[in-house]
Amino acid sequence: MYVYDKHDQTFVEARSQEFRDQVKRRLAGELSEDEFKPMRLMNGLYLQLHAYMLRVAIPYGTLSSDQMRKLAYLAEKYDRGYGHFTTRQNIQYNWPKLVDVPDMLDELAKVQMHAIQTSGNCIRNVTSDPFAGVAGDEWIDPRPTAELLRQWSSLHPEFAYLPRKFKFAVTGAAEDRAALKFHDIGLKVKPGADSEPLFEIWVGGGQGRTPRIAVLFEDKVELVDLLPKLDSMLRVYNLHGRRDNKYKARIKILIAEYGLENYRSDVEEDLALQSLEPFAPAVAEYHRIAKDFERTDVPPRSVSSPKQEPQSPGLTAWIKQNVTSHKIAGYGVVSISLKPKGGIPGDATAEQMYALADLAERFSLSELRITHRQNIVLPYVPASDLAELYEELVVHGLAEDNVGLLSDIIACPGLDYCALATARSIPVAQTLSTRLRERESREDLSGLTLNISGCINACGHHHAASIGILGLNRAETENYQITLGGSSNDNASVGEILGPGFSQEEIPAAVDRILDFYQASKQPDENFNQVYQRLGKSAFKEAVYVAA
């Protein structure tokens, strides 16, 4: 893992001090709420329906046991005993008091964490592959790049007031586990000559009310050229992105309206004016950072396990569903579901977070990951410890064996918390997860995804799911629109709206009809999106609406 040096530490402490001063001026009435708003947002502090909400960054989803313990402590001391892990690998606290937030930031700084740029119209927390460094299909660990971007973008003076928020994702493996093509800029890292990284730059992806799949801006970009290029890409966006309509202010709209070739030409023109001197240390920085991610403390494990105790059906199912092969023989990558039957997706109690910290210490070299599907990963679990780990997870209510199944639902907080939401997401997710877990006990529902957003901003990634549910407000009544055929993997696609929306009560039956039709129609080895593409929207529409 990356470990802060004195400069990083001074930086986060200084930022915490700066925010303390801003809060003090706000509480003294020297700053109006309008003036304070962009400052608090740039530090991850929202004003939600009931209270302030603090979003804490978990850069590229990697954290240590000590850091997880600190998150648990914050939930216990400043919240109501729980936190919510988000689709961008962050954690949100829904009940902090404004006056306490500077103290929370000081606590975070003690364990090399912060809330810098987890909101606001700036470069947000950089996301990455939760299996980075341990996945068998990985070409190169994406996290050194993500950390380099974190440092470059943190309090970047030019990009604090962009037209809209700006999201980066970085991957370095064959499988896209970070929804790269739904980001403003996605970087795919591959090894070049002498194993130096080479980058594909994808630009213009995003969700919201105008979902777009990113397009290739340039491939084979060398490390030395990466940051100057990104700097110019952001500068052109800052100067030319629309500011007259917040719904048309993302870079995806600039690319669509201005054209990729014009944008590329402006970036090249800007690059010609750039001084490369400030970027000169970047290559050495990358290699300095990369050393921190090379784990040299992974003890070798025997591949052939000794005589095995008989496994319980629960353990067998959990290993099948939640454990992925590791690039190092004798180890497994364990995904811990935060989607218990009838539970709130992504929520964990302080007690569970303390337990996860302890379990990571015992079983996973004190390292954890957060996934964009709102689950937790223990990346270094010896195969011989799986049974013991499972028993511990059962005790803490963390042993749901549904990772990668349909009940592994993504959901935003929706109208229960969010000031922007138009409908509730959580109760829909809870009802569906109960119903789907029952179906999953009888039939194979792997390879499908179900995501729920409580408004058109699409924080629940409904566009990118096999089955997407979007909560809207129609004539002061919650109404849920269904989209089908979306995907966030390498062949990313945007789901299509199936037809008129449903009430909250009608949604479970509508999902059942979709699944019934899929199961009846699928051919061997065909997944949901393949069936959808083969049969088309009209066939599903008929099954859902006519059958009703």
Among 111, 155, 224, 420, which residue interacts with other proteins (rule: CB under 8 A)?
Answer: 155
**Residue 42 or 544 with smaller CB distance to other proteins:** 42
- Shortest Cβ 255–other proteins spacing (Å): 18
Three-class SS state of 443:
coil
- Shortest Cβ 112–other proteins spacing (Å): 15
Rule CB under 8 A: which of 58-77 touch other proteins?
none
Among 106, 222, 285, 292, which residue interacts with other proteins (rule: CB under 8 A)?
Answer: 285
> What are the residues whose beta carbons fall under 8 Å from the beta carbon of 179, sequence distance 6 or more?
169, 372, 461, 464, 488, 492
Task: List strand residue ranges (DSSP E) for 269-428, in order.
Answer: 323-325, 331-336, 347-349, 367-370, 376-382, 410-411
Q: CB pairs under 8 A, 24+ apart, for 268-275?
A: 268/232, 270/232, 270/235, 270/236, 271/228, 271/229, 271/232, 274/228, 274/231, 274/232
**Residue 158 or 490 with smaller CB distance to other proteins:** 158
Contact call for residues 171 and 189 (beta carbons, < 8 A): yes
Q: How many CB atoms lie within 10 A of CB 353?
A: 27
> What are the residues whose beta carbons fall under 8 Å from the beta carbon of 14, sequence distance 6 or more?
none
Residue 17 binding other proteins, by CB under 8 A: yes
Residue 274 binding other proteins, by CB under 8 A: yes
3-state DSSP of 364-382: CCCEEEECCCCCEEEEEEE
Binding segment toward other proteins, per CB under 8 A, in 18-26, 88-96, 198-206, 456-464:
18-26
- Work out whether strand 91-93 and strand 52-56 pair parallel, antiparallel, or are unpaired: antiparallel
Residue 227 binding other proteins, by CB under 8 A: yes
Residue 154 binding other proteins, by CB under 8 A: yes
- Shortest Cβ 49–other proteins spacing (Å): 23
Rule CB under 8 A: which of 343-362 touch other proteins?
none
- Shortest Cβ 307–other proteins spacing (Å): 52
**Residue 239 or 497 with smaller CB distance to other proteins:** 239
Residue type, 100: D
Contact call for residues 332 and 138 (beta carbons, < 8 A): no
Using CA atoms, how far apart are residues 221 and 164, in angstroms rounded to an integer?
26
Helical packing angle, 313-322 and 386-395, nearest 10°: 100
Three-class SS state of 504:
coil
* DSSP category for residue 98: G
- Shortest Cβ 8–other proteins spacing (Å): 8
Using CA atoms, how far apart are residues 19 and 25, in angstroms rounded to an integer?
10
Residue 288 binding other proteins, by CB under 8 A: yes
Rule CB under 8 A: which of 234-253 touch other proteins?
235, 238-239, 243
Total of chain residues touching other proteins, rule CB under 8 A: 48
- Shortest Cβ 251–other proteins spacing (Å): 14
Residue 158 binding other proteins, by CB under 8 A: yes
Residue 145 binding other proteins, by CB under 8 A: no
Rule CB under 8 A: which of 26-55 touch other proteins?
30-31, 34-35, 38-39
Exposed, middle or buried, 277 (CB in 10 Å: 0-12/13-18/19+)? exposed
Q: Cα separations (Å) of 502 from 88, 408, 413, 465, 506?
A: 28, 22, 20, 18, 6
Cα 107 to the center of its chain, rounded Å:
23
Among 15, 339, 435, 461, which residue interacts with other proteins (rule: CB under 8 A)?
Answer: 15
**Residue 156 or 362 with smaller CB distance to other proteins:** 156
Residue 276 binding other proteins, by CB under 8 A: no
Among 82, 159, 202, 331, which residue interacts with other proteins (rule: CB under 8 A)?
Answer: 159
- Shortest Cβ 3–other proteins spacing (Å): 14
Residue 279 binding other proteins, by CB under 8 A: yes
- Shortest Cβ 270–other proteins spacing (Å): 7
x/- contact string, 82-121, with other proteins (CB under 8 A)?
Answer: ---------------------------------------x
- Shortest Cβ 30–other proteins spacing (Å): 5
- Shortest Cβ 59–other proteins spacing (Å): 14
Using CA atoms, how far apart are residues 425 and 415, in angstroms rounded to an integer?
7
Residue 5 binding other proteins, by CB under 8 A: yes
Contact call for residues 314 and 399 (beta carbons, < 8 A): yes
Residue 281 binding other proteins, by CB under 8 A: yes
Among 174, 280, 303, 497, which residue interacts with other proteins (rule: CB under 8 A)?
Answer: 280
Binding segment toward other proteins, per CB under 8 A, in 6-14, 105-113, 463-471, 512-520:
6-14
Residue 11 binding other proteins, by CB under 8 A: yes
Cα 21 to the center of its chain, rounded Å:
31
Contact call for residues 544 and 515 (beta carbons, < 8 A): no
Residue 450 binding other proteins, by CB under 8 A: no
Q: Where does this chain bind other proteins (CB under 8 A)? A: 5, 7-8, 11, 14-15, 17-18, 20-22, 25, 30-31, 34-35, 38-39, 121, 151-152, 154-162, 227, 235, 238-239, 243, 270, 273-275, 277-282, 284-285, 288
